[in-house]
Each structure stands twice: as structure tokens, then as C-alpha cells.
Copies of this chain bind each other. A is one copy, B any other.
Amino acid sequence: MAIRNTGPLLSRLRDLMKLKYLGEPIHGYIVFSEDAHQNEYISACDQRRAFITGFTGSAGVALITQTEALLWIDGRYFIQAEQQLDENWTQMKMGLPETPTLSEWLTKNMKSGSRIGVDADLITYSEWRRINKEIKHKGINLVALDTNLIDRMWSDRPATPSNLVKPLNIKFSGKKCGEKVEEVRQKMNEKNATILLITALDEIAWLLNLRGSDIIYNPVFYSYVIVTHTDVHLFVDDKKLSIAVSEHFKSENLSVIIQPYEKLHSFFSDILASDSCKTGNVWVSAKSSYNLVNMVPKSNRISKPTPIPLMKAIKNSVEINGLKNAHIKDGAALCSYFAWLEENISQGNLTEISAAEKLLSFRSLQEDFVSLSFETISSSGPNSGIIHYAPTPETDRKLSVDEMYLCDSGGQFLDGTTDVTRTLHFGTPSNYQKECFTRVFKGQANLAMSKFPHKILGNCLDSYARRFLWDVGLDYMHGTGHGIGSYLNVHEGPMGISWREIPNDPGLQSGMFLSNEPGYYEKDFGIRLEDIVLVKDSITDYKMPQRPFLQFETVTLCPIQTKMLVIDLLTDKEIDYLNEYHSKCLQTLTPLLEKLGDQRAITWLKKETQIIQR
């Protein structure tokens, strides 16, 4: 079910690779998924990797040589890639013992002296360094090309979006941007940094209390920011800025110099040559592009993450209340949806896409709703086994009482971003499906109930969510928890919960929000249960000196389908947890559903939150 024949494209690309770049042809060309701001979700104009491979998943790295076309993808996408790649492409399944990494493949298959081309605006500095380090011992080198070979072939490439930027009211942000910039400058002082370059769009949106819509689902706008001790330079297409933005800066005590977006590289180069740069350090995250980081002399370069990801991750009290409120509204919308679905699914004419549209309509009824926070994963039967599936007209499947239905969705509200997954069966699940579901639930519940020391890495908690699957030889090939923004990106760092090490993870701290989302996937069905949890101080029976403890509070409110549970596999503690959770769902969501007048949802919620007993 490949969506296009990539043969002609690949042969044109291979011709381009034979031209002379910096003196010589290149022997391989790497196409990453990221844009110049290393966004996870990218605009249509930046979908270069999808253009050349046909694979539309959010993550993946393509390597094209004169004889091979390889795509490295992670476990979320094994099945999707199989469906989308044509016979010109070889799928490299990351994480499996027999799959070499990109670097391992290069060192094993390319001759010494090989030149591997990369667009150095579209690769992070850290990624460049890592790959180069891994391949140079075989005499293979990355080559920074000043032209993008995909763009040269991409005749109908969409234009770069340029939508209006809007201020975020202080009642949602909780802190003026003038204050945020001062805090950033304090962090700069600690590192003797006189210049900070910010390239990540969500960091800029957070810092300036602005939101945009250049990228679907992410309320950000194309821009760069340079902070010095005296100035804040915002590089942005000024057509995006209304008078509201300058009034916003004034009311939040920040003076901002607006510069054209395209001027960033030349301005940065000038400022690097200036005196202020000589007396202090220049801070630019190694997650910025190789081109930008490489402009800064090593001797006074700080390449750690900017201070913003951690500041942004620790929500203030306004944001905490906002996120909780957003999840209440989101929970009500989900109840309306699942109640409607249960009533209508047996008619047999609902599909993954039409159902997702109905869900959007319920979310849209909620106050301060802006948009979805990512493409809804409305998936039935085999499609639910595809971890990051989203239905397309080609794959759209009829919903049925004979299949599991997995729905992973979220909204952007002015007061917060949501992300929730529930898996339901509207007919009779098999015992095996119930066992798998129960083990996924046990993992989620045990992670939710855990207590842990301040700043412990999420890696240390990941196995709580997997243990009951591991007990029987099962696992899921994705992380357990990611950070989430406050009306910002649905995935944000710097912390996370995963078996994979997260570079520069500052550990779990009070005020952070993360997802808690174990799952299990097979060819014929998939299960995922995803809640958002708040990290907060914990009161424990005992106390150790200087070792504060934390715990989670689940803020997502939507019933877990109890008919999917094998009660005998649950402990008393897990049963109590679920009953208390359901009672909270019932109490919190009913008033809002009453206000909306959705009697069907109220009835469904009451039924789904009935006390379970051994």
C-alpha cells in the first residue's frame, strides 16, 4: 500500500549527488525529519523526508546512496512504514538487535573516503557531532552542503506559512515576559554568557508569551530570538505582528527589537565579531542547527540546552490551574464522544475519520478551545496496533463492535494543552485482549501511585509501567511519559519517562506535567491508556533529611473501560485506585456535562464509573 513510486525521485537525487560539492561528489545523502528549528511537527514546506520516502510518520531518518535507500524508524512506526514504503526502500527497524544504527551501517557499507552530504541547517549540532564521531574512524565524513538536494527536485513545494502572532493573556501565562527574560538573564549570568540564541519555536513562544499558528497543532511561529544583557532581538516576518503584540510587550515590561527572520545568520555573525562577545560566553544549544552552533568559537561556546526548557516545564500556579481545567473540559468532551460512539457504533457506518470528526465537534464546544494538539489517532482493530497511526482516506476503517478501538487525541485550549488515550471494546473482547489491557492498566496505575525522590530521572520509574507486561514477556516500543506544554507543544522536554536515557534530563520536579501512557501492540489490536499527571510534593510516613519526596496527581479525567479488566489480576490497591479515580471522574465531570445538557454522556459516565469489586 505504498503511496507513491519513489523510483524516479531517487534516480534524480542520485544524479544530483554526482555533482561536485565542495570539490567532490557525495556518496550518500542523509535526509532528517526536522526543519531549521528542529520542530517535531513540521510544516508541509519542510516535509522533505516524507517527500523522498513516502513515509509520513513524524520521526525517521533516510539515507540514500547510489545503490541503497534506507529509512531508520522507531518502534512506533514499524507497521506504518511497511505500509507506506515502496520496494525502493529498506526499512531499518531501530531498537531491534540485528538493526545497525545509521553510523554502523555507514561504517560497514561505505568505503573509506566516502562523503556523506547533509543540509547543515537541518541537522542539530549534537547529531552532527555524534554521527561524525561514529563514522570518522572508518575515514567517512559528513559534508555540510549549502544547498538542499530535496528542495532542488521539489517543484511544487508549498510556501512557508506566515500566520498572525497573538499575545497570550497573563491570566493564562501567569508570568509577564519581562519577568521571564530577567530570569533568563540570571541563568546567563551564572554561566558568564553575554549572548543567548534561541532557535526552538516553543521556547520563543513561552518566553515572549506569544502564540502563533505556523505549524499545525503547535501554537508557535517561525522566529529566532537573541537575548543579550541589554536587548531582546526577535527575528520574525513583521507581517505577522499586529499592534496587539507591541502593546503586549509594553504591558509586560519588555522592550523587543524586531528584525527580519532572514537576517538572523548575518546578525548573529556580526554580534559574534563584536566586543560584547569577547568578554563573555555565547550560549546556543547543541540542539540548534550545526550551521548556527558552528559559527560560535569553541572557546567561548556554551552548548548546553538553553535555560528555557526547564523553566517552561515547571508550571506556575496559574498554568497548573489552567492545565487542570483544560483536562476537565477535555474529559467532558471525551465522555460526550464515547457515549455517542457507544450509541451509534452498532449502526456500522462510522469510520475512524468520521468518528474523529465527531470528537473534534465535541471538543470545539468547550470554552477557550483553539485546535487539536495533534492529529487524532482514531484507530480500529489492526490500525490500533500501529503506534502513531492516524487515519487517512486510504486506511480509514469502519468501526465495529468486534474490534478494539484506540483513540489518542488532545486539544489546545488557551489555558492548557491536553493529550489523552483510551482504548475501548464495544463488543466482546477476547480473554487475551483483556489480559493485555489489564497489564497495561496495572502499569499505568502503579506508576500513578508511585512516590519518588525529588529530581529522580524518569528513566528510574519507566519500568513501573512495563513490569506487568514484562512479567509475561510482553513490552511496548515507545516511552512511557513525555512533558506537555501549557497551550504549547504536546510533546516537550526536558524530562521524560523512558527506558531510553534522555540527554540533559534534569529529573522530575514539582510543577511538571507528563504523560503516563503504557500500551501494548500486536498485528490485530493495540492498547494504550494515557493520562496526564502533575508532579507534586508528597507527604510520606517518614522523612529523610534533605530528601524531599514527590508523587503524581492524575489530571486527565475519563473512565477506564472496566469490562476490559481481568479483576483477578488486580491487587486490592489497584482496585481502590481505580474506584477512587472513577469517583473523581464522576464528581468532576458531571456538573460540566449538566451545563452542556448532555444527558447521554451523564448516563454513560455513571455507568462507566461504577465501583468494581473482587
Number of copies: 2
**Is B473 within 8 A of A544, CB to CB?**
yes
A87, chain B: closest CB distance, angstroms: 22
A339, chain B: closest CB distance, angstroms: 34
A204 CB-CB contact with B under 8 Å = no
**Interface 9-residue window, one of A159-167, A346-354, A367-375, A459-467:** A459-467
A316 CB-CB contact with B under 8 Å = no
Specify which chain B residues have a CB less than 8 angstroms from the CB of A460 in the assembled complex. Answer: 459-460, 462-463, 499
**Interface 9-residue window, one of A5-13, A259-267, A450-458:** A450-458
A275 CB-CB contact with B under 8 Å = no
Q: Given A138-B192, A459-B459, A460-B462, A470–B546 Cβ distance below 8 Å?
A: no
**Is A137 within 8 A of B462, CB to CB?**
no
Q: Given A192-B138, A501-B501, A546-B97, A463–B452 Cβ distance below 8 Å?
A: yes
The interface centre, meaning the residue of A460, A471, A474, A499 with most chain B CB atoms within 10 A of its CB, is A460
**How many residues does chain A have at the interface if contact means C-beta atoms less than 8 Å apart?**
45
A286, chain B: closest CB distance, angstroms: 12
A191 CB-CB contact with B under 8 Å = yes
Provide the bound-state CA to CA distance between A538 and B462, in Å. 21
A88 CB-CB contact with B under 8 Å = no
A111, chain B: closest CB distance, angstroms: 12
**Is B461 within 8 A of A137, CB to CB?**
no
Contact residue among B191, B302, B472 (Cβ-Cβ distance under 8 Å from A540): B472
**Is B473 within 8 A of A541, CB to CB?**
yes
| Contact residues, A209-250 vs B (CB, 8 A) | none
Chain B residue with the shortest CB-CB distance to A538: B473
**Is B457 within 8 A of A470, CB to CB?**
no
Specify which chain B residues have a CB less than 8 angstroms from the CB of A148 in the assembled complex. Answer: none
A114 CB-CB contact with B under 8 Å = no
| Contact residues, A425-454 vs B (CB, 8 A) | 450-454
A519, chain B: closest CB distance, angstroms: 13
A549 CB-CB contact with B under 8 Å = yes
| Contact residues, A50-91 vs B (CB, 8 A) | none
**Interface residue SS majority, chain A:** loop
A104, chain B: closest CB distance, angstroms: 10
Provide the bound-state CA to CA distance between A455 and B475, in Å. 13
Contact residue among B302, B471, B543, B571 (Cβ-Cβ distance under 8 Å from A473): B543
**Is A453 within 8 A of B472, CB to CB?**
no
**Is B471 within 8 A of A451, CB to CB?**
yes
A281 CB-CB contact with B under 8 Å = yes
Contact residue among B96, B136, B462, B546 (Cβ-Cβ distance under 8 Å from A96): B546
A568 CB-CB contact with B under 8 Å = no
Contact residue among B137, B451, B463 (Cβ-Cβ distance under 8 Å from A470): B451
The interface centre, meaning the residue of A462, A464, A542 with most chain B CB atoms within 10 A of its CB, is A542
Specify which chain B residues have a CB less than 8 angstroms from the CB of A137 in the assembled complex. Answer: 191-192, 281, 300, 302
**Is A549 within 8 A of B473, CB to CB?**
yes
Contact residue among B463, B475, B501, B543 (Cβ-Cβ distance under 8 Å from A547): B475
Contact residue among B473, B501, B542, B549 (Cβ-Cβ distance under 8 Å from A451): B473
Provide the bound-state CA to CA distance between A538 and B470, in Å. 11
**Is A472 within 8 A of B546, CB to CB?**
no
A98 CB-CB contact with B under 8 Å = yes
| Contact residues, A125-181 vs B (CB, 8 A) | 136-138
Specify which chain B residues have a CB less than 8 angstroms from the CB of A544 in the assembled complex. Answer: 473-475
Provide the bound-state CA to CA distance between A538 and B464, in Å. 19
Specify which chain B residues have a CB less than 8 angstroms from the CB of A98 in the assembled complex. Answer: 546
Chain B residue with the shortest CB-CB distance to A498: B460
A535, chain B: closest CB distance, angstroms: 14
A223, chain B: closest CB distance, angstroms: 27
**Is A473 within 8 A of B97, CB to CB?**
no
Specify which chain B residues have a CB less than 8 angstroms from the CB of A191 in the assembled complex. Answer: 137
A188, chain B: closest CB distance, angstroms: 11
A432, chain B: closest CB distance, angstroms: 9
Chain A, residues 523-567, CB within 8 Å of chain B (1/0): the string is 000000000000000101111101101000000000000000000
Provide the bound-state CA to CA distance between A191 and B97, in Å. 19
Contact residue among B281, B470, B547 (Cβ-Cβ distance under 8 Å from A452): B470
Provide the bound-state CA to CA distance between A451 and B470, in Å. 6
A196, chain B: closest CB distance, angstroms: 13
Provide the bound-state CA to CA distance between A543 and B470, in Å. 10
Specify which chain B residues have a CB less than 8 angstroms from the CB of A467 in the assembled complex. Answer: 450, 464
Contact residue among B454, B462, B463 (Cβ-Cβ distance under 8 Å from A97): B454
Contact residue among B453, B463, B549 (Cβ-Cβ distance under 8 Å from A461): B463
Specify which chain B residues have a CB less than 8 angstroms from the CB of A461 in the assembled complex. Answer: 463
A–B pairs, 10, beta carbons within 8 Å: A97-B454, A137-B302, A450-B470, A452-B463, A460-B462, A461-B463, A471-B540, A472-B540, A473-B540, A473-B541
The list of the 5 closest CB pairs from A to B, nearest first, reads: A473-B540, A472-B541, A460-B463, A473-B542, A473-B549
Inter-chain pairs besides A457-B501, A473-B547, 7 sampled, C-beta below 8 Å = A97-B454, A451-B473, A459-B460, A460-B462, A460-B463, A474-B542, A501-B501
